[in-house]
Amino acid sequence: MALSTLTQLESLFSTAVGRTVHAGEVVETSVDLVMGHDATLALAIADFERLSCSLWDNSRMLIACDHFAPPVRSDHADLQKSVLQFAARHQVPDLHMYRGICHQLLLEDTRVQPGRIVVGADSHTLLAGAVGCFATGLGATDILGCLVTGKTWFRVPESLRVTFTGRRKPWVMGRDLALHLLGRLGESGASYQALEMWDGTKDDLAMDSRAAICCMATEMGAKAALFTPDEITRDFLQRRDDDILLPFPPVAIDEERYVDSLDIDVGNVDSLVAKPHSPANVCPVAEVKGTPLDEVFIGSCAGGRLEDFAMAAKLLAGKTVARGLKVIAVPASVTVQRQAIALGYFQLLSEAGVCLCNPSCGACGKLDKGVLATGDTVLSTSTRNFQGRMGPRDSAIYLASTATCAASAVTGYITPPADVWEEL
């Protein structure tokens, strides 16, 4: 099979199914890992048990209790209980109780390797593509099919090639690059496509930034997003997997097969904001500077990693959050939490007046702590600013990087991090 005449995704699927396949073909393929969480997996389990299904391979599952972590409503506790009972009944080894957001846990899981096929019962499963795998979200019924058969179908996606070059301004984060892409592509600009990203910045995009970009590709309609494995991937995997490094799949792509190609000089991107009510409603932070805030949320799978805590601590060290402002920070996993504690970030944030919660999805989906009041405006690192996503219909969500959120937490209104950077 001549992989050099394919996109990376075509190459990945060709390897998976054992014959050359091209974008547009529908293939049945086995999956390497199936992820589910306490909310969506509960739906699959209800059918699974009702139909007395048997589980294909319990070692290829990752279950996270992260949406109701811990539950605040008894009906949510009931859903979670069904997931816990399922994990016990089928002896699923990987049950993560309140240990972080499912997508971050995938990123931290040794089974998530370049070239593999990962499916999850959640739209932001794309995040795991940061290490160079195909990772995508499916609904509960599709996940049920995977749990029983170990297989699913995909239409091999067309690929859009994104190349990053240059050097970031110090306050510009992966999240800003994701917003830049959203601004250019729109809410459906990458529908059914895969974003294949190549980092030509020479070590400027760490794994945490890559994860934020892959996660937010969901909001562009993408089926998958991946970074071509490189030295950063190698370093990350070596540290994560105790020096065990599997060979990377060969990458020899044909430029002609890409639907489009975007070149982004990261040095030309400044801090950005997505205004209500679309993640693609993007403008420079300066344009909405001064917008008064009721809440600042730093967390979720799009922004609760160590890089985010380091940035928040840098901007909030020795300062105090604005009086009466709800400032909530939630680490994306216990690993992030422990590192942030060890590095002193929690102490600095706590002294600044930030409310630090346990690893979980947090305020992102109106299911957990941090729900907005009527008329509230929040600046958030979370994934979506759909109307009513974090509170009542008349609440407003602005999405931004952790740097922008931390700078704004001090003033109480939307503040470009560049404005305060010189004082640091």
Catalog residues that contact other proteins under the rule CB under 8 A. Answer: 26, 39-40, 42-43, 46-47, 51, 53, 75, 79, 121-123, 137-142, 144-145, 148-149, 153, 155, 187-188, 191-192, 219, 221, 223, 278, 365-367, 384, 386-389, 393
Least spacing, CB of residue 87 vs other proteins, in Å:
17
Of the two residues 326 and 389, which places its CB atom closer to other proteins in the complex?
389
CA dist 208 → 20, 81, 236, 311, 377 (Å):
33, 32, 10, 12, 27
Least spacing, CB of residue 118 vs other proteins, in Å:
14
Residue (of 276, 261, 262) closest to 177 by Cα position? 262
Of the two residues 139 and 412, which places its CB atom closer to other proteins in the complex?
139
Least spacing, CB of residue 47 vs other proteins, in Å:
6
Of the two residues 239 and 386, which places its CB atom closer to other proteins in the complex?
386
Least spacing, CB of residue 46 vs other proteins, in Å:
5
Cβ 68 vs Cβ 367: under 8 Å: yes
Of the two residues 246 and 373, which places its CB atom closer to other proteins in the complex?
373
Of the two residues 155 and 167, which places its CB atom closer to other proteins in the complex?
155
Least spacing, CB of residue 354 vs other proteins, in Å:
25
Of the two residues 48 and 198, which places its CB atom closer to other proteins in the complex?
48
At 151, which amino acid appears? K
The C-alpha atoms of residue 241 and residue 110 are separated, in whole angstroms, by 6
Least spacing, CB of residue 218 vs other proteins, in Å:
9
135 phi and psi angles, rounded to 5 deg: -130, 130
